[in-house]
Amino acid sequence: MTNREQELEKRLNLLVKFGGMIAIETNLNRLLELIAEQVKRLLNGDRCTVFVLDKQTNELWSKVAHGLEHTEIRMPFGKGIVGIVAQTGQPINIKNAYSDDRFSSEIDRVTGYKTRNILAVPLKDVTGKIIGVFEVINKMDGDFDAEDEGMLFLLGSFASAAIENAQLYESLNKSQLETIYRLAITAEYRDQVDTAVHLRHISEYSALLAKGLPLSEKEVENIRYSSPLHDIGKVGIPDAILLKPGKLTPEEYEEMKKHTLYGAKILCNAESALLQIACKIAGSHHEKFDGTGYPIKLKGGQIPLYARIVSVADVFDALCMPRVYKSKWESEKAREYILSESEKSFDPDVVKSFEGVYEQILKIQSLSNDGKTTVIPGITKELHKHTF
């Protein structure tokens, strides 16, 4: 192997490790510190700062500037290097900071630090909206090059998902259902264009299945509102796996399966009863009735009832919708599949309920095919506009 190949392999390994580490840190401050530390190492810089865009004040704030811990930096949007990167969405690579008039030396004056060169790239969410800026300062050997830029950009795409994840986790105590739905949409938006439609289907099919069992009205409403969060753990799955157009390798599929664990982790500390249900659903919706599912091979009645219900709704709708890795199935073929999996993948009572409400499910499906979609309960029209 040449030196260069060795260097590339080293970087690749670090990159994979980086993805794994940040996916499981849900405390925002610790996450930002972790990201900064790793990025500094990966790019051989002296300092790294992660700026997060505060939409309320339109400023970029950071708590984790190396050398000035416990200080908060705030840069107005459009001002200074980070502000300009946030505004234009373009990276900036400066070889000599003091001869560049976009650089404001105020921070250096406060810290007594001497900035030489700077590489700053935008952090974007899956829809392309700016959520912050990554800045690395003073490369140890020479200047930042195009490869560093590419690397920082890649790290940024991992980091933005983790940052959104952590922001979600922090807001959970407030139990803001709309915020969570917004993230559910963002999380899944990456692997399917019709996310809002899919989430509404899951919500309505699950409610119909619950009603048909029959469960009480309260329980029907519980599942209606909590089921759309079943795949929220997909925020922790790298694009390279989630968006892969073909079949996953066994290793990739193992990684993919962790979306159940991530989802449960995101939701489980919540106080609200609804989110506790959502947590069970997120954690167990891929368990199978015969005990061959994941993540922990629960069997029959060990699987929470709500999860047994959502499992049928999820698979039926996944089969009927196109995915990056498969085309859509005819509804009839999907129905037959569900029936054939009774007692294998699915609870036979839920499958019986499915048969009973199948006509109603088809009606909901045809409404979305006609484009006459309604809004998911809990999500306002405004929110839809905002996300898409």
Residues annotated as catalytic are 234
Residue 323, contacted partner among ligand C2E, Fe ion, ligand SIN, none, CB below 5-8 A by kind: ligand C2E
Nearer to ligand C2E, 176 or 249 (CB): 249
Instruction: Tell which one of 38, 115, 203, 227 touches ligand SIN (CB under 6 A).
Output: 115
Residue linked to tokens 């900035």: 115
CA dihedral 304, 305, 308, 311 (to 10 degrees): -90
Instruction: Tell which one of 18, 77, 103, 134 touches ligand SIN (CB under 6 A).
Output: 103
Q: Does 144 bind ligand SIN (CB under 6 A)?
A: no
Q: Does 253 bind ligand SIN (CB under 6 A)?
A: yes
Instruction: Tell which one of 244, 295, 362, 373 touches ligand C2E (CB under 6 A).
Output: 244
Q: Does 192 bind ligand SIN (CB under 6 A)?
A: no
> Which of 191-207 are b and which e, b meaning 16 or more Cβ less than 10 Å from the residue's Cβ?
bbebbbbbbbbbbbbbb
Nearer to ligand C2E, 217 or 332 (CB): 332
Could you tell me if 260 and 274 are in contact, meaning their C-beta atoms sit under 8 angstroms apart? no
Which of 268, 239, 300, 76 shows the shortest CA–CA distance to 172?
Answer: 268
In whole angstroms, give the CA distance from residue 304 to residue 280. 7
Nearer to ligand SIN, 75 or 180 (CB): 75
Kindly write out the interface string for residues 212-251 of this chain, putting x where it contacts Fe ion by CB under 5 A and - elsewhere. Answer: -------------------x--------------------
Which stretch in 102-110, 146-154, 226-234, 268-276 sits in contact with ligand SIN by CB under 6 A?
102-110
Residue linked to tokens 């590339």: 8
The strand pair at 130-139 and 45-54 is best described as antiparallel
Residue linked to tokens 């509804």: 331
Cis peptide leading into residue 304 (ω within 30°): no
Which of 354, 357, 318 shows the shortest CA–CA distance to 336?
Answer: 354
Nearer to Fe ion, 115 or 226 (CB): 226
Q: Does 256 bind ligand C2E (CB under 6 A)?
A: yes
Q: Select the residue whose beta carbon is closest to Fe ion and give its number.
A: 231
For 50, 146, 291, the CA distances from 119, given in Å and listed in that order, are 12, 10, 51
Question: What backbone phi and psi angles, to 5 degrees, belong to 33?
Answer: -65, -45
Report the interface residues with ligand C2E, using CB under 6 A. 191, 244, 247-248, 256, 286, 314-315, 318-319, 323-326
Report the interface residues with ligand SIN, using CB under 6 A. 49, 75, 80-82, 103-104, 107, 115, 135, 247-248, 253
